[in-house]
Structure 1
Amino acid sequence: MKKIAVLFFFFVLFCVSAVVAKEFRVGVLYWSMNIPGQVAMRNGLENELSRINSSAAATGEATVILDARVAGDGNMGIENQINQMNDLIEAAVDLLIVQPTDNAALSGPLRKANSAGIPVIAYDQYISGGTLTAYRTSDNYQAGYLDGEYIASRFAKEKEIQIILVEYPHVSSTVERVNGFLDALNKSEQKYRIVKTYQAIEPVSGKKAGEDILRDFSKKGSVDVVFTVNDGGGLAVVDVLASAGRSEILVATIDGDPLSIENIRAGRLTVIDSAQYCGPLGAETMRAAYSVLRGEKPPYHALVPVFPITTETLERYHGWAGPVAEDFIKPWKSSSPEWQGSLKVVHQ
């Protein structure tokens, strides 16, 4: 009888342990639902979670529930995200996935999560300070570089291109895009001059940047190229310039918003958009998170490729949700002629 009681005790203990192990709680901090590319990243992440949970439930493995928060745009969004991250740390979630609104602002909460033993995976943007468990983003330097080499291919070497930058220096991804763009121009030995910079990353600031450009450069021919670091603000810039009849300006941008693709197709200012694979980026982030939850060690830093959409490559791009295109030879002069669609592991 005593033996049966002992066996029953261990059976109950096993069942309780199994129930506890059947569910992880993951806090996820999204930046904005006003930037379509970021919405697509969220969809990719949550669709991958549904796939993981379906597979896990079928095999008796642990599933995941998300506690999701959205920060919002601007300075208020930064403050919101700091509070949201602190709240989820206090709630003792098993893991945090963060799309940072600002590289530096979350350093305090990240160190707090480190002290609490909560793994943190950042995607889209990096967090400065503290220790991340993993980091996933698009190849933002590649995005800028593709834009820069394509723009260089559109002008004679002796021509000094008059360039406006519409940037956003508060997050790593947009800084890397500008760096890639300028490095490509320099490597091509293309003459250029940056005549002015503006800041925009969403429609309101994009519209203002466009209006400021028209005011500051009212004479046709005073600007050759506008480089915008994303479609969130860049589309509004294009709308303002196009409405004013400034069709002589070439626009290079990044993200792959369907409206920007239509601008390329219609010959409406935009000539290249280095498109993110937003859905695959979100999915890759969720796969890394589940791997960590299971006690595995995924690569620390990996980059999802971006795709250069131009009139010559339009039909090869399948949209934000993917799938990632097959490798191909670029139809313009490039120091690296073959575009490759594989995940790039930067650091294990």
Structure 2
Amino acid sequence: MHIIRLLTLIALAVMLTAGSAWAKEYRIGVLYWSSNIPGQVAMSRGLEAEANKINAQATAKNRPTVKLVIRTAGDGANGIENQIRQMKELIRAKVDLLIVQPTDNAALAEPLRLANQAGIKVVAYDQYISGGTLAAYRTSDNYQAGYLDGEYIAAKFPKTKELRVVLVEYPHVSSTVERVNGFLEALEQAGQKYRVLKSYTAVEPVGGTKAGACILKDFPARGSIDVVFTVNDGGGLAVVDKLAKAGRNEIMVATIDGDPASVKNIREGRLTVIDSAQFCGPLGAEALKAGYALLNNEKAPYHALVPVFPITKETLKQYPGWMGPIPPAFTKPWKSPVPQWRGVMRVVKP
């Protein structure tokens, strides 16, 4: 009788312990880059909306919930230093998982290695971290974004014309480097001649305003530039404003992100002719989905790319906005080596 009672008590204790563990709350450290770049703000909104969705479903099914411990780095060199400090702070706080939108590919290598040593899994999104080991990586298909811009621009000019191109880039993070590579390779694969006149650096409004002023100073003659390619709307919108106010509407601008102000520029015929838009909300959500799966010892692809959408005057009606949903496939109304656009997440590494 005593043995039966003892076994019953042990079974009850095991059940209570299992139930407590099953209904636990995961503390997830979330490191955002900027609160000034609208696309990044939309990514954070998507991530936080997914947290609410996970918690609602988890509560109903007695699964673990999540609590986000959020830090925002800020822009520029100070932002990079802030994020290094913030990541180390969250490692010391022993969060269950880190989700990071890196301000710089190389700068976070040391704190990533510290997280590895502490046994804290790290999911990066939007940008990669060079050095250390990531548990998962989610980003927009940045090469595709640049490529869509390049193939659309190539379709607008005769192959015999050598395009005079100005780049507004940002060589410090992987996403923007991939966008430039995609843009230039699309021109080359289309057989479009081009010459890069000069490159400038900008990914946010202050830098974009400065780059726009420099472009006007360096190339004051109307007709001296055919195309300006900007790696994002964060800096690119300010470039467009500067050029438009100077009356340089002969320039075609190709950009990336899908900021509503840039979409308006396309609609109104104000310099910008294509904007390869990120699905910012779904990107943030996918980062958290991956992290939650890893915390529950479930399978999540290591590296996956969220598709981007080519907004042009021909496709405006099909674009749903940053928060999605991702629209169905369609045939591009311009010449392309890949005639159909398909909005599916692409797994690069399982």
Q: TM-score, normalised by structure 1?
A: 0.98
Instruction: For structure 2, list consecutive stretches of 5 or more residues without a partner in the other structure.
Output: none
Deviation at 1:11, TM superposition (A): 2.8
**Residue 286 of structure 1, CA deviation:** 1.1
Q: 1:298, CA displacement in angstroms?
A: 0.5
Partner residue, 2:97? 95
Q: Which residue does 2:16 correspond to in 1? A: 15
Determine the structure 1 residue equivalent to 2:170. Answer: 168
CA shift, 1:73, in A, is: 0.3
Output the amino acid matched with 1:153.
Answer: A
Identify the residue that residue 225 of structure 1 maps to in structure 2.
Answer: 227
The aligned residue for residue 35 of structure 1 is: 37
Segments of 4+ moved more than 6 angstroms:
none
2:56 counterpart letter in structure 1: S
Shift of 1:161: 0.6
Instruction: Give the C-alpha shift of residue 18 in structure 1.
Output: 2.9
Matched, 1:264 2:266: yes
Question: Is structure 2 residue 309 aligned with structure 1 residue 332?
Answer: no
> What is the TM-score of this pair, normalised by structure 2?
0.97
Structure 2 partner of 1:279: 281
Q: Deviations over 1:46-77 (max 9, x none)?
A: 11111111001001111111101000000000
Distance 1:140 1:46 in 2: 23
By how many angstroms is 1:9 displaced? 5.4
**In the alignment, which of 80, 83, 93 is matched to residue 82 of structure 2?**
80
SS in structure 2 opposite 1:66?
A: strand
Deviation at 1:92, TM superposition (A): 1.0
Separation in 1, partners of 2:189, 2:154: 10
Which of 222, 236, 239 is the equivalent residue of 1:237? Answer: 239
User: What is the match of residue 48 of structure 2?
Assistant: 46
- The answer for the alignment partner of 1:291 in structure 2 is 293
Corresponding residue pairs, total: 348
Secondary structure at the aligned position of 1:220 is classed as coil
User: 2:313 is matched with which residue?
Assistant: 311
Query: 86-95 or 172-181: which moved more?
Result: 86-95
The root-mean-square deviation of aligned C-alpha atoms, in Å, is 1.2
1:16, distance to aligned residue in structure 2 (A): 4.2
Q: Distance in 2 between matches of 1:84 and 1:49?
A: 21
The amino acid that maps onto 1:84 is Q
1:265 Cα offset (Å): 0.2
Matches within 5 A, 1:63-142: 63-142=65-144
Query: Separation in 1 of the partners of 2:55 and 2:107?
Result: 32
The offset of 1:345, in angstroms, is 0.5
Residue number in structure 2 paired with 1:184? 186
Q: Which residue of 2 aligns with 1:249?
A: 251
**How many angstroms apart in 2 are the aligned matches of 1:288 and 1:302?**
10
Following superposition, the deviation at residue 284 of structure 1 comes to 1.0
Residue type of the alignment partner of 1:189: G
Provide the rounded CA distance (Å) in 1 between the counterparts of 2:94 and 2:9: 32
